[in-house]
Structure 1
Amino acid sequence: MKINVGDRKIELKENSLGWAKVLEIPIKIEVCEDSFLHIGATPSPLSEKKAPIFKIKGKPAIPASSFKGALRHQLELLFINNIEKFAEKFNIPDDKKDVLKPCIPSPNPTKAEQELLNLKMYRGKMEGKKYVGHCEIKVEEDKINVGDLGICPVCYFMGATGIMGFLRVGNFIMEGESDIINQTNIRIDRKTGTAAKGAKVEGEQVKPGSVFKGKIEVVLSTPILEMQGIKFGDARKISDVVIDKWLEYWEEKNKEQKAKILIEEILIPAIQNIRILGGQKSRGAGKVSVSILSE
């Protein structure tokens, strides 16, 4: 499939995993020159370092979980900020626009997340101490229940309780030689103005300019979906219940064009909008540039 990325045209490779057909999107992540990267790992009892970075076979890496979290956040912002645009794109009636709102993917949102619910940025509401609105599929007395709004657009990509999403994200491996900066953190005693006793922590950083590469796989189809005539871009059904209601009104019929639009206008912008990864943000860490590679 050829897609537009800015002023470039990129050919994405289609591959078969046996159980699914996927489209591979190659990704490059570069640590900005005025920053560093710290994605923490569990300290080893054999090392004095209390703040090590995540590694694979001794080499710095960006774990899939960190990238997925950042991508989900950008997808949420994309739908929150462009609800009118997407309502027009997907032919959604004015009284149904709430189907485009993302959910908070937890039955127990934090106090800060509850404030976002009060601002109507996310779908659902608090009923007592319980959040009603996060995406999940329930089977109740042989009936499928996905709520009035169905699975939200972000969970369509990322997955929700009871159903897989259409994206597969792997770890991102550092290119070239591993070059780790040793990092020392010291807490200052408020009274003496000197280093507090026992407050020295040894850690690690990935240096500015470091490059990581990996890929995102878009699941185009699976055998089960194909039996229903459904591919990526279509609204899915279970027992004749439409679960992706935000796609239910879309008038586009060409399946390849549907997939192309979702990739070009939603997925690619969300990927490129990732600017921060990892921890120690208050120290200027985590600034990154994310780009789509041509293979």
Structure 2
Amino acid sequence: MKVCSKEDGIESYLHVGSGLFTITLDKIKVKCDDLTKLISKISKEIARDASSFMRIKNLPTIPGSSVKGNIRSRIELSFIPKDGKIRCCFIRSSPPRREPKKGEHGWRHYRIWKESLQFDRKSCDYMREEKVCLVCNLFGTTGLQGLIFFDDFVGDFETKIIHLPHGEKIEVAPPGSRFIGEVTFANLKPEELGLLLFGMGLRNGRISKPVLFGKYKYRNDLPYNFGVVRYEIEKIELSKSLPELEGSTDEQVRRLVELALKSFDGELLDVDEVKILERL
């Protein structure tokens, strides 16, 4: 995965929070037997600094669960009904709601995905019904392991601290930063693998169109673009029983996505979320 830079037509930063903050602590010289008073005194001397980027072994890292959620959500949002039926639920479903007014929470997300958000979808309940939709079968749900597995995506670059409005500071991956990770799968049909690639924003080759990822991606009151990335496929290893899918990685991606679009004809929206967001 690459954070988009000028060569991609849009320069972006990426923040994947760890839930931790770096802090500065002034030395306190106080004699106090009362622990409560001591803690109160210390807390006043602590200045919250920057919201930290997620790290594993001190390397900037995007958890595999975050990558999985990003791709899964894009696939869920891309499906629309055909002949009165829809192939997938929303893992966190809610009834269709009114369109948020401009400036209200979630209004940009709604404008981008309006065509699919207007349909009611009940979440799968495998524990009760022992059957699930296509996407829950691929990615898993409560009580059911999926068929696709995501490693953490790890970077090896220098992060940067940037300042946002209202005194907020965050640690970010700068434009051009790359994260490397592995996605493995088992027993996928070719069209299902193509659907996975479609959810990454891949269409005609191994490098995806720009897609949205991470925190701050919808905010427009910032001096920087946030959360615009490209997925890049280094290689796809397939079973030898699929000789028709042999070829370069670009050719494999193109054929697999074509199979998905053919299998799910009339059911998938091809939304350019970055371009739509730029117009909002």
In the alignment, structure 1 residue 30 sits paired with structure 2 residue 17: no
Aligned partners of 2:78 and 2:116 also within 8 Å: no
Give the SS at the match of 2:19: coil
Deviation sequence 1:200-254 (CA, Å, 0-9, x none): 233211111011110111122xxxxxxxxxxx4xxxxxxxxxxxxxxxxxxxxxx
The equivalent of 1:193 in structure 2 is: none
Q: What is the CA distance between 1:78 and its match in structure 2? A: 3.4
Q: In the alignment, residue 32 of structure 1 is paired with which amino acid?
A: C
1:218 partnered with 2:185: yes
The SS at the match of 2:20 is: coil
Equivalent in the alignment of 1:134: 123
1:108 deviates by 5.7
Larger relative strand fraction:
1
SS of 1:72's equivalent in the other structure is helix
Q: How does 1:172-183 map to 2 (within 5 A)?
A: 172-174=153-155, 176=156, 178-183=157-162
Query: Matches of 2:133 and 2:117 in 1, distance apart?
Result: 15
Please say if 1:185 is aligned against 2:164. yes
Q: Which structure features the higher share of helix residues? A: 2
Q: What is the CA RMSD across the aligned residues, in angstroms? A: 3.2
Q: Does 1:69 align with 2:74?
A: no
Alpha carbons of 1:170 and 1:287: their partners in 2 closer, same or farther (altered >3 Å)?
same
Aligned equivalent of 2:228 = 287
1:276 equivalent to 2:276? Answer no
- Structure 2 equivalent of residue 249 of structure 1: none
Matching of residues 1-295 of structure 1 within 5 Å: 29-33=1-5, 34-44=11-21, 46=23, 48-80=48-80, 84=82, 94=83, 98-100=85-87, 102-106=88-92, 121-124=118-121, 133-139=122-128, 145-146=129-130, 150-174=131-155, 176=156, 178-187=157-166, 200-220=167-187, 232=188, 259-264=189-194, 266-272=195-201, 275-281=211-217, 282=219, 283=222, 284-294=225-235
**Which 5+ residue runs of structure 2 have no aligned equivalent?**
6-10, 25-47, 100-109, 203-209, 237-280
**Deviation at residue 122 of structure 1 after TM alignment:** 4.3
**1:49, distance to aligned residue in structure 2 (A):** 2.6
Provide TM-score, normalisation by structure 2: 0.57
TM-score, normalising length: structure 1: 0.54
Aligned twin of 2:40: none
Q: Offset at 1:77? A: 3.2
CA pair 164-72 structure 1, distance change in 2 beyond 3 A: same
- Would the alpha carbon gap of residues 108 and 64 (structure 1) be closer, same or farther in structure 2, given more than 3 Å must change? same
Q: How far off its partner does 1:59 sit?
A: 1.4
| Cα distance change, pair 213–260 in 1 and its aligned pair in 2 (3 A) | same
- Inter-partner Cα distance in structure 2 for 1:112 and 1:61: 37
Shift of 1:76: 1.4
Change (3 A) 1:290 1:207: same
Higher relative contact order (CA 8 A, sep 6+): 1
Question: Shift of residue 105 of structure 1?
Answer: 1.5
Deviation at 1:179, TM superposition (A): 0.9
Q: 1:162 to 1:122 in 2, by over 3 A?
A: farther
CA contact (8 A) 1:103 1:122 kept: no
Number of matched residues?
185
